[in-house]
Every structure is written in structure tokens, then in C-alpha cells.
């Protein structure tokens, strides 16, 4: 534009000269001087004055010019930035549809990517939590989580982690002020502003303290599991806090990020006056540095190997529990049935029953006449080894125990029947007078017996040896024996009645005896004769002979030693043997 | 952590010789995460304070509390680098600290150029024991220095000093 008026001046001057002198000469001179250039000048003139032509010309060089300038620096972008922004704003305000159409193809994938990144983080932590939830390892980590107060997922993460870039600081090199700070998930964070300043200070401190050359700077800080990697740029510093063992391949990632930031934010970094929001645009770059790598082996191994063995173990435990539960239930049922059985047993009192020290126990009282409760163990299917039994002896007063007890104490002969009813003990039958006498004394000490009856108890002594005497060498009874014989008959009749009431048949075996005088042959004859005599007498005189059999026999035995005449007389007699048999 | 809009960050330094009360002044002013032992180990302790300038503008002051140096040349220049301003501190009861402060200021100006600063005469609660000549201070004020009497003990003048520096820094052209 500057050139245009000047060339105009020259031309006007020429025209002026031309007017002042000889026209023809001047024209000739001019054509001589300018000759072929005259047309060019006219063309230049036209090019400079015709706006349309200018537009065309600029349009031919504009793309190349932009390319050239962009290669030099990014001033053009700076210059165009606001205009482009305004243009887009206006365009959208006027009609948003073109922009919508334009970004439509990219917005879908962008959203999908964002969602998948967010989801994969969530799924990863969920997977790990699930995988380790029930393992022994998991249990340890759970305890650790409980102890340290960290979430379980976090503890799992920390253990399976090979490395994780937890924080990235973008620090303004000159001032040590924090430009941007990004944090991975749930990593613990101190005040980033102060950390940023202190990191710078420590760098300076190390650098100054060891007089290292200007280009050499602190690159790594290590604190336990944490490593801080510091990347130096001319205008900014990138510090990454890494948990675990970071691979060296990460270094170039940080370096490239820092270089990109320098490229994109050069001016902002140079002119930084404390407004960190100018660097918000660097956040995505920094977030890309927040990388995590977990131990694939540990992770892969866990979900496959673990649940299967877990299922097996759990199944075994479950099965064992079921079996144990069934047996415990069955045993308990059997035991209860046994205790109930013992309780029902007469003469046994259960005072306590249950389990003690892993064994069943049953305590109580037991009448010695009662059945041993241990006898029911087999019947109840309870293993005797698992049972401790302790029964103290006692005497049961129930009727079923009074009678057996009385039998034990009184030892009645088979011909005596004992009956017990409502406190009354009744003896019937017949026995020796000696036993009857003893019984009458003893019965008072039988517990449970309040009254004793023995009206129907017959002393058989008078029948066994009725003391019927015979004359010497004769089978006829001696005179004056009638009373004794009547007594004998009365006794036999009573015996008959008793036997009848006991549903027995009585058999009387009459044995005759002789004294020591006379021959053995004669004595045998006498003995038999005497027995038969009494037998026939009884058969003749007894009113009824139902259930009674009388037989006669001889004996060589003497009843007593014959020291006196009285002994001889006593030996000339008969004795009876009473045999009871069951009546039909 | 997103930087909030309308927050401007500034690095400022606390300068002055030993035992003039720099750290106590900072402690009056901020809450810190670092213990005082950083002074003796790294030689600097960093704290921060968010100041509300006028309701819309906030300033995040990153305070570099630099270890007191006996001699001005012992002052670590690297800690000064990038500071937008500094607080120069002297102890009103020890006259020599004033001269040390003047030397330190010269060195700071060498390193930082013309950045705002405020001169704090600390321990104003012990005014009876002051040994600094008021006329010397007046001379400084005449030279254009901003002098504020502070007491880290009572808190007098502390907020004012930090605010004064903050305002000066905001007025500075980029």
C-alpha cells in the first residue's frame, strides 16, 4: 500500500513535464527511454490499483505464506486464535447445525472412549476385589485394610500393582508454582501447591549443594515404595509420583509430554504471572501419564486357580458340615430317646443328663433290682464309650420293686407264693415251720411292706413227720394214735385246698420206717407194710382225693440213732414227702 | 486439582537475617504442612496462603520462608528465583539486623530486579527495647520504602504487611 502513492506521484510528474515542453519531442523521447517498459508500467499500475486483481494475487500466495510462517513460530496461531474463536461462536449462534454435523462423527467415539476408560478402571478394581475377596491372600489383605483403614480395593490394588503413576505435577520452573496437578483415583494427596514449591526448593537445594552443572538436575527421589521422577524442561518441570517399580519406558512418555506442553504453552510459560488456569488445556496430556500396570500373573492366576480350589474346599467343608450335622442330629435324637427310655424304666430315677467334655452323661438313682440302664444303650444305638453313667443305689417303693425285694430277702421255697398288693404282702403255700418262723421275723424289714398275711401258709412239718407210731414188729399203728391221724388228715385236707388254689396237684409219698431190731428183710416188709397201711387208711378216710395222689414206699433208713427205747419207738413210723406238680 | 478462576499464584520470599521472626510471622499468617526443621535441612520452608483481594480476585501466596543468613552473600539465589515479591524482615530490638536487611535487599534486587517488597520491623511488642533509630526508618520511607511495624507475638501488622505486598504485586505490570 505504501508503494502505490509514490508510483502515482512519478507518473503525474511525467504527465506534468510532458505538458510543459514540446509534445512531440517529449513523446518520442519517452518512447525511446521507456520503450518496451511502457506497457509493463501500465500493467503494474493496473495491478496496484485494481483491488480485484490484488485479491486474486494474495489468494495465490496465502496458503504457502501460512505454511512458511507456521514453520517459523506459532505467532500465526496466536493471531488467528481469537478470530477463529469468534468466528466459531458466531457461526454456532447463527446456525449450530453445521457444527453439530461436523463434530457428530467424532463426538460419539470420544464419549465412548471416555466411558470405556472410566468403566475399565471400575471393572479392574471390581475384578480384583472379587478375585481376592475370599482367598487366604484376600483375607490377609482384608485384615490389612481393616488395620490401616484403607478401602479393601485400594489394598488389593497396592499389592497387585507393578507400578502406578499416582500424581503428576506440572511446575513452573522459574517460580516453582504449580501449573497443573492430576491424581490417579484414590491416591493420597498432600497439598499440591506446597509440594510443588518444596520439590522445586529441594531440586535447587541439591543442585546448589553439590555444585552440579546447570543442565544436571535432580531426576529421581525415592521414598519407600514411592519414586518421584522429575523431568526438566527449560520452562516447566514435570514431576511424577510413582508407586511400585516403574519401567524405564515411562521416562520417554514423561519427556514427550513435557515437550508437547512446551510446544503448546510456550508463550504462557514465558509470560506466566500466576494464573494457572491458562494451563487447563495441559490436563489431558498429564492424565495420559497416569499409567497403571498390575501384575498380570498374580491377577490372571487368581481368578482361575482360586475360585476352583475355593469351590472344592467350600464344598468339602459344606459336605463335612452336613455329614457332621446329620450325625450330630442323629446322635442327639438317639441320646434323647435313650434318656427317655431310662426315665421310663421302673426303679431308675434320672436326675441329670446331657453332654459334658464332649461326652454324654446320665446321672441318677437306681434300685439294685432295676435293670441296668446301660443295657438299653445298645437298644438305643448309642455307643457306650461315649457315655458316662453314674447311678447311686436307692430303694424304689413302687409295688413292682417291693415284691422282688421281698423275694430276695425272704428266699421263699418253691412251694410258697408271695403276693403284694397295696402295701400288703401275702404268703401262701406251704413251707417248713422253720422258714415260716424266720419269714415272719424278716418280713418286717422289707421296705414297702406295711402288712403281712400268712393265713394261707401251711407249715408242712406235721405232714412230713406226723409222728405216727407203730407197735414193735407190727404194721398196725400203736394204740392212741387216732388224734394224730385226724390231725394228719386235717393237715392234708388243707394242703389239698392250698394246692388247688395254687392250681397244683399234690403227690404224697409215704415212706415207712422200722427200728434197728429184727432182720433186714423183715424190716423192709414192716416199712412197706406200715406205709401201705397209712396210705390205705388215708385213701379210705379222706373225703376227697381230687388232685391228690398217695403212694407208699419202704425205707431202710432210720429216722434217728437208736440210743434209747424211745428212739426205737420213734423210728417205728412213717414220713411223708410232698411233691407238687402243675395241675392241668 | 483444577485451578479456580480468578486465582493468581505468586511466589514470595521471607528474607532477613537470623532470629528476626520470619518463621513466626509466617506461622501467624498461614497453616503449614511442613515442620520448621525444613529450615535447617533444606534451608527453606514453603507454606501457602489464599488471600481474597477484593471479592473477585484471589491470590495464592506461596511463601518461601528462607533460612536466615548471617551474611547477605550466603543467601541462596536459587530460592529467590521467580519470586514476585518479598518481605524483608528486621528485628526492632537488634539494630544490626536492619543493616543486614539492607544488604539482603540489595542482593535480592540484584537477583530479582525491581519486584515489590515490604520492609517489616518485627517485635513491635517490645518497643521499649527498640534500638532502631526512627530517623533511619523515616529515611527509608522517604526513599520510597514501605515500612510496617509488626509483632509476630501479638499479630499486629502481620496481615497488613502481607496484604500490602499482595496489592503491590497486583499493581505490577506483567
Most B-contacting residue of A182, A183, A204, A221 (CB-CB within 10 A), to test interface:
A204
* Separation between Cα atoms, residue A76 and residue A555, nearest integer Å: 163
C-beta atoms of B11 and A205 within 8 A = no
Nearest to A280 by CA among A144, A137, A179: A179
Nearest to B68 by CA among B18, B123, B24: B18
| 3-state secondary structure at position A328 | helix
Quick one: A235 and A366 in the same domain? Answer: no
Distant-in-sequence, close-in-space partners of B98: CB < 8 Å, separation ≥ 6: B90, B121, B132, B136
User: pLDDT (tens digit, 9 = 90+) per residue, B6-59?
Assistant: 788 999 998 888 888 888 888 887 766 666 666 666 678 888 888 888 777 888
From A247, A274, A294, give the residue that closes a domain.
A294
* Separation between Cα atoms, residue A532 and residue A544, nearest integer Å: 19
Nearest CA in chain A to B173: A273
Q: Is residue B110 domain-resident?
A: yes
C-beta atoms of A191 and B33 within 8 A = yes
Q: Is residue A539 domain-resident?
A: yes
Provide the angle, in degrees to the nearest 10, between the axes of the packed helices A136-148 and A152-160: 120
The domain spanning residue A346 has which CATH number?
Answer: 3.30.300
Quick one: A146 and A234 in the same domain? Answer: yes
- What is the distance in angstroms between the Cα of A171 and the nearest Cα belonging to chain B? 12
Q: Is residue B116 domain-resident?
A: yes
**Concatenated DSSP letters for A457-469?**
EEE-HHHH----B
For residue A35, the model assigns a pLDDT of 73
| 3-state secondary structure at position A197 | helix
Q: Is residue A186 domain-resident?
A: yes
Q: Where are the beta strands (DSSP E) in A66-111?
A: none
Nearest CA in chain B to A195: B46
- What value does the mean pLDDT take over residues B60-82? 78
Nearest to B165 by CA among B141, B143, B142, B146: B146
For residue B66, the model assigns a pLDDT of 82
Q: Give the H/E segment covering residue A453.
A: strand A451-453
Quick one: A240 and A174 in the same domain? Answer: yes
C-beta atoms of B8 and A274 within 8 A = yes
From A393, A417, A432, give the residue that closes a domain.
A393
Q: Is residue B1 domain-resident?
A: no
Quick one: A226 and A310 in the same domain? Answer: no
CA dihedral for B69, B73, B74, B77, sign (positive or negative)? positive
B-chain CB neighbours of A276 within 8 Å are 3, 7, 9
ipTM attached to this prediction:
0.82
Q: Is residue A368 domain-resident?
A: yes
C-beta atoms of A204 and B82 within 8 A = no
For residue B34, the model assigns a pLDDT of 65
Q: Is residue B71 domain-resident?
A: yes
The domain spanning residue B125 has which CATH number?
Answer: 3.40.50.300
B-chain CB neighbours of A206 within 8 Å are none
Nearest CA in chain A to B174: A273
For residue B73, the model assigns a pLDDT of 64
Q: Is residue B127 domain-resident?
A: yes
CB–CB contacts below 8 A, A to B: 94
pLDDT tens series, chain A, 584 aa: 444 444 444 444 445 544 555 688 888 887 777 777 778 888 888 888 888 888 888 888 888 888 888 888 888 888 888 888 888 888 888 887 777 777 767 777 777 777 777 776 666 666 666 666 666 777 787 788 888 887 777 777 677 777 888 899 999 988 889 999 998 876 677 788 888 888 888 888 787 777 777 667 778 888 777 888 998 888 899 999 988 877 788 888 888 898 889 888 888 898 888 888 889 888 988 988 888 776 655 544 444 445 666 778 888 899 999 999 998 888 888 888 888 888 888 888 888 888 888 888 899 998 888 888 888 888 888 888 888 888 898 888 887 888 888 888 888 888 888 888 888 888 888 888 888 888 888 888 888 888 888 888 888 888 888 888 888 888 888 888 888 888 888 888 888 888 888 888 888 888 888 888 878 888 888 888 888 888 888 888 888 777 788 888 777 777 778 788 888 888 888 888 888 888 76
Q: Which of A201, A273, A277 sits opposite B79 (nearest CB)?
A: A201
Quote the mean pLDDT of chain B: 82
CA dihedral for A15, A21, A22, A27, sign (positive or negative)? negative
C-beta atoms of A276 and B84 within 8 A = no
Nearest CA in chain A to B74: A208
Quick one: A158 and A203 in the same domain? Answer: yes
In this structure, are strands A161-172 and A236-244 parallel, antiparallel, or unpaired? antiparallel
User: pLDDT (tens digit, 9 = 90+) per residue, B102-122?
Assistant: 988 998 898 888 899 999 998
Nearest to A576 by CA among A391, A432, A473: A432
User: pLDDT (tens digit, 9 = 90+) per residue, B124-170?
Assistant: 888 788 888 888 888 889 988 999 998 888 888 888 999 999 989 88
Q: What angle do CA A497, A498, A499 make, to 5 degrees?
A: 90
Quick one: A139 and A286 in the same domain? Answer: yes
Distant-in-sequence, close-in-space partners of B161: CB < 8 Å, separation ≥ 6: B25, B87, B118, B120, B148, B150
Quick one: A140 and A283 in the same domain? Answer: yes
Distant-in-sequence, close-in-space partners of B12: CB < 8 Å, separation ≥ 6: B61, B62, B63, B64, B83, B84, B85, B86, B87, B165, B169
Q: How many other C-beta atoms lie within 10 A of the C-beta of residue A529?
A: 18
* Separation between Cα atoms, residue A362 and residue A345, nearest integer Å: 14
Q: Is residue B57 domain-resident?
A: yes
Most B-contacting residue of A168, A176, A184 (CB-CB within 10 A), to test interface:
A176
Q: Which of B3, B10, B46 sits opposite A198 (nearest CB)?
A: B46
Q: Is residue A424 domain-resident?
A: no
Quick one: A177 and A290 in the same domain? Answer: yes
Q: Is residue B111 domain-resident?
A: yes
Quick one: A528 and A385 in the same domain? Answer: no
Question: Which residues constitute the domain of residue A491?
Answer: 460-582
Q: What angle do CA A166, A172, A175 make, to 5 degrees?
A: 125
Q: Which of B9, B32, B81 sits opposite A274 (nearest CB)?
A: B9
Bridge partner residues of A552 (DSSP): A510
C-beta atoms of B33 and A190 within 8 A = yes
* Separation between Cα atoms, residue A365 and residue A372, nearest integer Å: 11
C-beta atoms of B42 and A194 within 8 A = no
C-beta atoms of B33 and A204 within 8 A = no
A-chain CB neighbours of B38 within 8 Å are 198
For residue B31, the model assigns a pLDDT of 64
Quick one: A319 and A286 in the same domain? Answer: no
- Put simply, whether B8 touches A (Cβ < 8 Å) is yes
Q: Is residue B94 domain-resident?
A: yes
Q: Is residue A443 domain-resident?
A: no
Nearest CA in chain A to B78: A204
- CB-CB contact of A386 with A355 (8 Å): no
Interface of B with A in 36-95 (CB under 8 A): 38, 42-44, 46-48, 59-60, 62, 64, 76, 78-79, 81-84
In total, how many domains does chain B have?
1
The domain spanning residue A573 has which CATH number?
Answer: 3.30.1330.60
| 3-state secondary structure at position B21 | coil
Q: Is residue A86 domain-resident?
A: no
Quick one: A279 and A357 in the same domain? Answer: no
Most B-contacting residue of A171, A181, A193 (CB-CB within 10 A), to test interface:
A193
C-beta atoms of A177 and B7 within 8 A = no
C-beta atoms of A175 and B81 within 8 A = yes
Q: Give the H/E segment covering residue A425.
A: strand A424-431
| 3-state secondary structure at position A583 | coil
Q: What does the radius of gyration of chain B's CA atoms come to, in whole angstroms?
A: 15
In total, how many domains does chain A have?
4
In this structure, are strands A457-459 and A236-244 parallel, antiparallel, or unpaired? unpaired
Question: Which residues constitute the domain of residue B33?
Answer: 7-171
* Separation between Cα atoms, residue A63 and residue A65, nearest integer Å: 5
- What is the distance in angstroms between the Cα of B4 and the nearest Cα belonging to chain A? 7
* Separation between Cα atoms, residue B68 and residue B21, nearest integer Å: 10
Give A339-405 as a 3 state SS string: HHHHHHCCCEEEEEEEEECCEEEEEEEECCCCCCCCHHHHHCCCCHHHEEEEEEECCCCCHHHHHHH
A-chain CB neighbours of B42 within 8 Å are 198, 201-202, 205
Surface-to-core class of residue A573, CB atoms within 10 Å of its CB (0-12 exposed, 13-18 middle, 19+ buried): buried
C-beta atoms of A194 and B46 within 8 A = yes
From A272, A294, A316, give the residue that closes a domain.
A294
What does pTM read for this prediction?
0.45
Q: Is residue A317 domain-resident?
A: yes
- What is the distance in angstroms between the Cα of A192 and the nearest Cα belonging to chain B? 8
C-beta atoms of A280 and B3 within 8 A = yes
Q: Which of B9, B76, B82 sits opposite A276 (nearest CB)?
A: B9
For residue B165, the model assigns a pLDDT of 92
Nearest to B53 by CA among B173, B171, B174: B171
Quick one: A275 and A140 in the same domain? Answer: yes
Amino acid at each position: 500500500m505504501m508503494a502505490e502513492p509514490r508510483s502515482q506521484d512519478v507518473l503525474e510528474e511525467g504527465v506534468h513535464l510532458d505538458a510543459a515542453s514540446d509534445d512531440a519531442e517529449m513523446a518520442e523521447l519517452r518512447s525511446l527511454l521507456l520503450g518496451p517498459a511502457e506497457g509493463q508500467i501500465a500493467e503494474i499500475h493496473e495491478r496496484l490499483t485494481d483491488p480485484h486483481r490484488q485479491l486474486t494475487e494474495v489468494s495465490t500466495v496465502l496458503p504457502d505464506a501460512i505454511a512458511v510462517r507456521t514453520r517459523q513460530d506459532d505467532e500465526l496461531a496466536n493471531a488467528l486464535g481469537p478470530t477463529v474463536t469468534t468466528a466459531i461462536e458466531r457461526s454456532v449462534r447463527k446456525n449450530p447445525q453445521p457444527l453439530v454435523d461436523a463434530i457428530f462423527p467424532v463426538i460419539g467415539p470420544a464419549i465412548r472412549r471416555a466411558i470405556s476408560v472410566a468403566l475399565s478402571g471400575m471393572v479392574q478394581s471390581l475384578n480384583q476385589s472379587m478375585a481376592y475377596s475370599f482367598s487366604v491372600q484376600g483375607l490377609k489383605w482384608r485384615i490389612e485394610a481393616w488395620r490401616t483403614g484403607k478401602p479393601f480395593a485400594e489394598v488389593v490394588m497396592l499389592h497387585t500393582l507393578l507400578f502406578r503413576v499416582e500424581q503428576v505435577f506440572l511446575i513452573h520452573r522459574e517460580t516453582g508454582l504449580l501449573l497443573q496437578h492430576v491424581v490417579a483415583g484414590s491416591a493420597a494427596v498432600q497439598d499440591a501447591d506446597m509440594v510443588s514449591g518444596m520439590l522445586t526448593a529441594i531440586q535447587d537445594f541439591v543442585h546448589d549443594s553439590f555444585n552440579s552443572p546447570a543442565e544436571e538436575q535432580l531426576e529421581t527421589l525415592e521414598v519407600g515404595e514411592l519414586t518421584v521422577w522429575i523431568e526438566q524442561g527449560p520452562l516447566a518441570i514435570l514431576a511424577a509420583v510413582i508407586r511400585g517399580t516403574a519401567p524405564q519406558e515411562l521416562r520417554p512418555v514423561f519427556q514427550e509430554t513435557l515437550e508437547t506442553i512446551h510446544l503448546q504453552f510456550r508463550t504462557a510459560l514465558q509470560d506466566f504471572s500466576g494464573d494457572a488456569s491458562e494451563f487447563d488445556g495441559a490436563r489431558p496430556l498429564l492424565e495420559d501419564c497416569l499409567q497403571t500396570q498390575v501384575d498380570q500373573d498374580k491377577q490372571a492366576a487368581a481368578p482361575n486357580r482360586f475360585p476352583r480350589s475355593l469351590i472344592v474346599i467350600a464344598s468339602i467343608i459344606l459336605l463335612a458340615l452336613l455329614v457332621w450335622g446329620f450325625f450330630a442330629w442323629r446322635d442327639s435324637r438317639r441320646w434323647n430317646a435313650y434318656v427317655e427310655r431310662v426315665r421310663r424304666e421302673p426303679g431308675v430315677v434320672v436326675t441329670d443328663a446331657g453332654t459334658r467334655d464332649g461326652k454324654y452323661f446320665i446321672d441318677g438313682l437306681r434300685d439294685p433290682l432295676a435293670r441296668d440302664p446301660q443295657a438299653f444303650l445298645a437298644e438305643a444305638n448309642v455307643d457306650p464309650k461315649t457315655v458316662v453313667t453314674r447311678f447311686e443305689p436307692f430303694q424304689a417303693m413302687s409295688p413292682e420293686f417291693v415284691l422282688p425285694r421281698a423275694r430276695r430277702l425272704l428266699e421263699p421255697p418253691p412251694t410258697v407264693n408271695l403276693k403284694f398288693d397295696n402295701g400288703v404282702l401275702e404268703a401262701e403255700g406251704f413251707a417248713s415251720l422253720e422258714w415260716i418262723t424266720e419269714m415272719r421275723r424278716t418280713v418286717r424289714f422289707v421296705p414297702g411292706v406295711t402288712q403281712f398275711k400268712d393265713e394261707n401258709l401251711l407249715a408242712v412239718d406235721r405232714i412230713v413227720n406226723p409222728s405216727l407210731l407203730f407197735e414193735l414188729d407190727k404194721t398196725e399203728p400203736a394204740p392212741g394214735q387216732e388224734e394224730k391221724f385226724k390231725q394228719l388228715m386235717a393237715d392234708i385236707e388243707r394242703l389239698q385246698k392250698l394246692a388247688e388254689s395254687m392250681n397244683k396237684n399234690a403227690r404224697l409219698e409215704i415212706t415207712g420206717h422200722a427200728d434197728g431190731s429184727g432182720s433186714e428183710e423183715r424190716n423192709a416188709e414192716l416199712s412197706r407194710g406200715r406205709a401201705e397201711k397209712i396210705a390205705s387208711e388215708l385213701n379210705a378216710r379222706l373225703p376227697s382225693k381230687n388232685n391228690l395222689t398217695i403212694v407208699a414206699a419202704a425205707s431202710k433208713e432210720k429216722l434217728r440213732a437208736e440210743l434209747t427205747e424211745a428212739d426205737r419207738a420213734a423210728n417205728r413210723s412213717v414220713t411223708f414227702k410232698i411233691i407238687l406238680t402243675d395241675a392241668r | 486439582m483444577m485451578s479456580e478462576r480468578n486465582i493468581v499464584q505468586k511466589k514470595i520470599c521471607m528474607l532477613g537475617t537470623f532470629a528476626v521472626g520470619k518463621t513466626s510471622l509466617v506461622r501467624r499468617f498461614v497453616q503449614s504442612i511442613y515442620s520448621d526443621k525444613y529450615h535447617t535441612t533444606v534451608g527453606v520452608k514453603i507454606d501457602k496462603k489464599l488471600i481474597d483481594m477484593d471479592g473477585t480476585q484471589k491470590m495464592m501466596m506461596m511463601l518461601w520462608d528462607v533460612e536466615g543468613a548471617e551474611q547477605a552473600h550466603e543467601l541462596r539465589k536459587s530460592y529467590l528465583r521467580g519470586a514476585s515479591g518479598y518481605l524483608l524482615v528486621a528485628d526492632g530490638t537488634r539494630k544490626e539486623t536492619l543493616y543486614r536487611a539492607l544488604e539482603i535487599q540489595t542482593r535480592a534486587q540484584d537477583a530479582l530486579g525491581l519486584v515489590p517488597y515490604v520492609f517489616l520491623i518485627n517485635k513491635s511488642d517490645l518497643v521499649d527495647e527498640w534500638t532502631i533509630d526512627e530517623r533511619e526508618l523515616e529515611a527509608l520511607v522517604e526513599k520510597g520504602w514501605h515500612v510496617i511495624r509488626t509483632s509476630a507475638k501479638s499479630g499486629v501488622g502481620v496481615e497488613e504487611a502481607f496484604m500490602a505486598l499482595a496489592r503491590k504485586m497486583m499493581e505490577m505490570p506483567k
